[in-house]
């Protein structure tokens, strides 16, 4: 497994990270035994970065990860998040100071650990900017000072808003999702340069666009427009006709570039994990990549609304 420095944290992390949303059944039902086995297999393959959240499976992902890491906690870097409870706009988010503190305490218990390596605000675009800056981020500072967490960051979907916040706060890292993949490369516009200028770690998530760039397509809850879904399906079907999974091409595309410290892969099973890990040293087929990018060109860098920003 290739390793990299996570910004200024001093942590050495695997280039492939384990995205734990599937442990919370976010992409379909996952058997408990298979979930635990997938975590253990990832560690055996040299993956040491695990990213979860109370939101994934409404605490199920954290609970399963905590169980899986018994006796293995010192081998991994655990990242989780605070501020998001559910998908409900009004009641699903709380970035107040007390909420971030209490959510972190609850996560520590579910993860069965004394300290969280990386603690992040989850989808900051769903909070009022003044609360994020004046309550949530000070809560991160205090959690770090108290030794509850080692490093702090923020995650979100709109890259311009995420850029705006990270340039106003002293954070160690940031996580962006769905903005560095075959369909969308907007991460490079402002966010990545700003993070690198500050020596912040940067994590790239959802290289398949939360299922858009997979043979089976996205889950019913996916917020992309019908146009984006339709064009991505054409690209996926083209890959299938060539005897290749578009998901594999998407992973190769993201891993081949050395822009991000960690690329999260949300593998559901051990078989998916082993297939993905095998792609780290494989460059995408240039002809296939050219054709797929051409198909996706009509929806290149198009996104969807998220939050209040």
Residues designated as active site: 56
Give the Cα separation of 43 and 21 in Å (integer). 17
Give the Cα separation of 195 and 188 in Å (integer). 10
Query: Which tokens belong to 161?
Result: 């808003």
**Distances from the Cα of 307 to the Cαs of 58, 158, 159, in angstroms?**
19, 9, 12
| Helical segments of 158-299, H only | 159-166, 191-197, 226-241, 246-256, 270-277, 286-296
Q: Give the count of beta carbons closer than 10 Å to the beta carbon of residue 291.
A: 15
Give the Cα separation of 3 and 17 in Å (integer). 10
Question: Helix 32-44 crosses helix 270-277 at what angle (to 10 degrees)?
Answer: 20
């Amino acid at each position: 497994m290739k390793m990299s420095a996570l910004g200024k944290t001093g942590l050495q992390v695997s280039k492939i990270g384990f995205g734990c949303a599937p442990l919370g059944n976010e992409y379909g039902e996952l058997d408990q035994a298979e979930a635990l086995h997938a975590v253990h297999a990832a560690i055996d393959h040299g993956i040491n970065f695990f990213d979860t959240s109370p939101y994934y499976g409404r605490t199920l992902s954290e609970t399963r990860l905590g169980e899986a890491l018994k006796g293995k906690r010192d081998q991994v870097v655990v990242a989780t998040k605070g501020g998001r409870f559910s998908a409900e706009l009004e009641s699903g988010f709380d970035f107040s100071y007390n909420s971030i503190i209490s959510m972190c305490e609850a996560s520590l218990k579910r993860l069965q650990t004394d300290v969280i390596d990386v603690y992040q605000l989850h989808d900051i675009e769903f909070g009022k900017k003044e609360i994020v800056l004046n309550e949530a981020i000070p809560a991160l500072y205090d959690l770090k000072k108290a030794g509850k967490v080692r490093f702090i960051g923020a995650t979100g979907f709109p890259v311009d808003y995420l850029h705006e916040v990270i340039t106003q706060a002293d954070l160690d890292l940031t996580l962006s999702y769905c903005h560095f993949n075959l369909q969308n490369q907007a991460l490079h516009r402002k966010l990545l340069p700003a993070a690198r200028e500050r020596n912040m770690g940067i994590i790239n998530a959802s290289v398949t666009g939360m299922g858009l760039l997979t043979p089976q397509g996205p889950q019913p809850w996916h917020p992309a427009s019908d146009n984006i879904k339709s064009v991505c399906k054409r690209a996926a079907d083209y890959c299938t006709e060539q005897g290749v999974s578009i998901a594999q091409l998407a992973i190769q595309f993201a891993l081949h570039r050395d822009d991000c410290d960690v690329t999260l892969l949300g593998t559901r099973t051990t078989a998916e994990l082993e297939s993905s890990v095998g792609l780290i040293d494989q460059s995408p087929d240039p002809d296939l990549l050219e054709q797929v990018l051409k198909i996706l060109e009509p929806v290149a860098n198009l996104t969807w609304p998220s939050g209040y920003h």
